[in-house]
DNA sequence: GTGAAAGCGCTAACAT
DNA sequence: ATGTTAGCGCTTTCAC
């Protein structure tokens, strides 16, 4: 290992002619390689003096451990994989940010793979990811069952999905639905449309289930289930006609994008939001505050979802037996709370029969 | 290596008791390890029969090469790093998607790191990234000079920045400014405000430079340079008063978010967009089509930016001498074209002096 | 508390 | 065209 200071322009720029290895550190510190390794990975197992020696050598040489080598020998790559259906989708991007953030705090590297919403590619991508990492986080998998099979028992955390025996983190869709419905109910709405998302979407299923439970509890309510619809503005545009004709005074949408499309078409149809129709969206992305009227929305801290998934994975990693022993099935399922952000798109229902009964007491 | 089929629930799930190695493949194929290695990395260097043998063994065992090991020995990790200031920012998310996409096509893994806009952390993050990858892509670096120093001559590609001797991909800000200005000019606007972004932002500098060039070419135009402003809706809100008082009939904003804030406050001030003031934004994110009026915007295909950067890096990797030799300085600088998407936020300027002269001929 | 030695899975000479 | 050998940078027994 030797340093060079070639002149580039008028600046000194240094480059390593070869990588600084643990052995180099050992030599400068005047100790053996294994001592350096210990000093770095289990500082308590080394004399304080020696540790100081090693540390200053590390600083002096600018040593950075080689993860590949450490992983090869130690069995841990200190790296995990994150698979998302679409990095450019603000929802997944927020989750990914949380994952990346927490990974950094845990000193883990994270391989990111974008499946581009292709459910058939997914299992193979997962398999490859699993083979070069210590574990994998799957965000909103499109083929969860096949993925779990492909991963062959390696540490795995699911986001926005639930499979028996697999750790997961999810948004509280049922609670979110409750919040949305109760908000609308307290505003006097009795007939509510749900503009659902795409078929087989896990969170859509959850929300429909939540709605079924709500109407059992609140017999005075009527819920009109619509969909499947595309999870974008187009989906909302398409749904608007049916919503307008449904006799509903309020609508809950699969996400912000759907709400945007819905509101736009509704207004084009001559309806006023929220005067004629109140709208509650899901996700509370940046869009919710950017459009007019601003959207009342059900939100969950998505960065926390990513962070939680990472923490769960780290737990799995710590308990992972590694070579061969089946891991204890840690079937931890974290559900992060939903909250309702009330904005301009919801207003009291002005009854056509009895004007003035808008802010009704409990039913 | 042996396989197990433990019963989980009523499903057969298989797990490897130990990882399948290249050696296992060699044994099942009845050849040596190096032959397998060759068959996999340089198929043409191996007899067709042998290759088939190896391939079927690979399939049978479900062998996946261990990148860490291959990197350790071969000097290439087949992995590179991507650093972005904020994954949750749709702009960077789009670039990241392009990078991830192209990386997959090149069969490269990508480590993603989010600097969280912290320019002081950046160089250290870059250094660490560089040490465990074959090269690094830096998207909109906040401390580009220090980053380049930290990377110590390893393969590097810059996105949205330009440093002599370093490969880069950028958006054509100057061309974008030209498009925006010429569009407004052709609509009859003569006095145009530029609502700029944050201080030291590279693309903001570029655009201001572009504006200076434009006014030399078009002496009939007046440009009012505003800012620095925050690159979000708040920035636009703050700028609105000055814009309204500036006597300008059109404004160009640093990005969509600024435009949203600007338009909102302008409307609150009693101005109509585009009737009283036309607005052109930069970036054309999803916001541009979601708000009302929809925004005329300067766009560049950001996924292509990411893809281009990845291709550039792969080129550098291929020419990288590896251990020690200084690399040939490949100072490739890719500039991706900007295009103008005309929407509702721009309209002809109705002259207060001579009504009817809105669609003027060339000056 | 520290050092010596072996070897993780793979590739790159060098033989054959 | 294929096999043999050595060793990448690190961690981990096992001695001392």
Question: B23: Cβ under 7 Å from strand C?
Answer: yes
Q: Which helix (H) or strand (E) holds B35?
A: helix B33-41
The reported pLDDT for the residue numbered A318 is 82
Does the pLDDT of residue B348 top 50, yes or no?
A: yes
First-to-last alpha carbon distance for chain B, in angstroms, is: 79
Predicted confidence (pLDDT) at residue B190 exceeds the cutoff of 60: yes
- For the segment B216-240, the average pLDDT, to the nearest whole number, is 96
pLDDT at residue B2 tops 60: no
Of residues B244, B176, B181, B241, the one with CA closest to residue B204: B176
In the structure encoding, which two tokens stand for residue B55, read together?
């391939």
What is the separation, in whole angstroms, between the first and last Cα of chain A?
Answer: 78
Size of interface A-B (CB pairs under 8 A): 160
> Residue A311 to residues A136, A207, A215, A235, A317: CA-CA distances in angstroms?
12, 26, 36, 35, 10
Of the candidates B90, B152, B139, which has an alpha carbon nearest to the alpha carbon of residue B113? B139
Q: Is the pLDDT of residue B310 over 50?
A: yes
Taking the C1' atom of D3, which residue's CA lies nearest? B32
| Per-residue pLDDT tens digits for A11-42 | 333 444 467 999 999 999 999 999 999 999 99
CB contact at 8 A, A211 and A225: yes
Average pLDDT over residues B64-71: 90
Q: Cβ distance B145 to B163 under 8 Å?
A: yes
Q: Is the pLDDT of residue B38 over 70?
A: yes
Determine the pLDDT at residue B332.
87
Cβ of A126 near strand C (distance < 7 A): no
Query: Do residues B187 and B347 lie in contact, with contact meaning Cβ atoms separated by under 8 Å?
Result: yes
Instruction: Taking residues B244-265, report their average pLDDT.
Output: 97
The answer to whether B153 contacts A114, with C-beta atoms less than 8 Å apart, is no
Residues B163/A13, Cβ–Cβ less than 8 Å: no
Integer Cα distance of B184 and B173 in angstroms: 17
**What tokens were used for B132?**
């465990």
User: Closest residue of A to B94, CA-based?
Assistant: A88
Tell me if the bond preceding B293 is cis, omega within 30° of 0: yes
pLDDT tops 70 at residue B49 = yes
pTM beyond 0.85: the answer is: yes
Cβ pair B233:A290 closer than 8 A: yes
Distances (CA, A) of B263 to A26, B236, B243, B251, B269: 62, 8, 11, 10, 10
What is the token pair recorded at B124?
């250290």
The pLDDT assigned to B94 comes to: 95
Distance CA A363, CA A357 (A): 13
d(CA A299, CA A343): 12
Average pLDDT over chain B, rounded to whole?
Answer: 89
Over residues A305-325, the pLDDT tens digits come to 999 999 999 999 887 544 444
Task: Give the per-residue pLDDT at B331.
Answer: 64
Average pLDDT, integer, range B295-322: 90
Find out whether B351 and B186 touch, Cβ atoms under 8 Å: no
Confirm whether any atom of chain D, the nucleic acid strand, is less than 7 Å from CB of A75: yes
Report the phi/psi class of residue A160: left, alpha or beta, with left for phi > 0 and alpha for psi in -120 to 50: left
* A40 CB below 7 A from strand D atoms: yes
Cα within 13 Å of Cα(B3), Cβ side: 11
Q: What is the pLDDT along chain A (363 residues), one digit of tens a residue?
A: 434 433 333 333 344 446 799 999 999 999 999 999 999 999 999 999 999 999 999 999 999 999 989 989 888 899 999 999 999 988 999 999 999 999 999 999 999 999 999 999 999 999 999 988 999 999 999 999 999 999 888 999 999 999 999 999 999 999 999 999 999 999 999 999 999 999 989 999 999 999 999 999 999 999 999 999 999 999 999 999 999 999 999 999 999 999 999 999 999 999 999 999 999 999 999 899 999 999 999 999 999 999 999 999 999 988 754 444 444 555 689 999 999 999 999 999 986 554 444 444 443
| Contact criterion met (CB < 8 Å) for A132 and B69 | no
pLDDT of residue B330: 57
For residue A18, the model assigns a pLDDT of 64
By C-alpha to C1' distance, C6 is nearest to A73
pLDDT per position as a tens digit, A174-227: 999 999 999 999 999 999 999 999 998 999 999 999 999 999 999 999 999 999
């Amino acid at each position: 290992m030797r340093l060079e200071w070639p002149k580039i322009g008028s600046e000194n720029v240094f480059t390593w002619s070869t990588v600084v290895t643990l052995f180099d550190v050992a030599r400068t510190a005047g100790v053996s390689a294994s001592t350096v390794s210990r000093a770095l990975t289990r500082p308590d197992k080394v004399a304080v003096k020696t540790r100081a020696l090693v540390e200053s050598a590390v600083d002096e040489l600018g040593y950075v451990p080689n993860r590949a080598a450490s992983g090869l020998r130690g069995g841990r790559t200190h790296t995990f994989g994150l698979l998302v259906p679409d990095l450019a989708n603000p929802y997944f991007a927020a989750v990914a940010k949380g994952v990346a953030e927490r990974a950094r705090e845990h000193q883990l590297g994270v391989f990111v793979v974008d499946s581009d919403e292709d459910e058939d590619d997914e299992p193979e991508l997962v398999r490859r990811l699993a083979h070069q990492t210590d574990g994998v986080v799957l965000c909103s998998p499109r083929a969860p069952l096949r993925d779990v099979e492909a991963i062959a028992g390696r540490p795995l955390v699911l986001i926005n999905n639930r499979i028996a025996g697999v750790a997961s983190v999810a948004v509280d869709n049922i609670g979110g639905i409750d919040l949305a419905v109760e908000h609308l109910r307290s505003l006097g709405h009795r007939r509510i449309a749900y503009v659902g998302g795409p078929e087989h979407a896990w969170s859509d299923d959850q929300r429909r289930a939540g709605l079924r439970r709500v109407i059992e509890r609140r017999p005075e309510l009527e819920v009109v289930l619509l969909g499947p619809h595309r999870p974008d503005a187009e989906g909302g545009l398409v749904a608007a006609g049916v919503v307008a004709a449904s006799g509903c005074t309020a609508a809950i949408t699969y996400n912000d994008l759907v709400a945007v499309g819905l509101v736009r078409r509704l207004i084009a149809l001559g309806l006023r939001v929220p005067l004629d129709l109140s709208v509650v969206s899901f996700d509370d992305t940046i869009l919710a505050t950017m459009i007019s009227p601003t959207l009342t929305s059900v939100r969950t801290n998505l960065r926390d979802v990513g962070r939680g998934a990472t923490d769960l994975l780290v737990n799995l990693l710590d308990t992972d037996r590694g070579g061969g022993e089946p891991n204890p099935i840690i079937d931890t399922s974290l559900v992060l709370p939903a909250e309702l952000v009330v904005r301009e798109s919801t207003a009291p229902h002005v009854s056509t029969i009895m004007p003035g009964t808008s802010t009704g007491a409990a039913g």
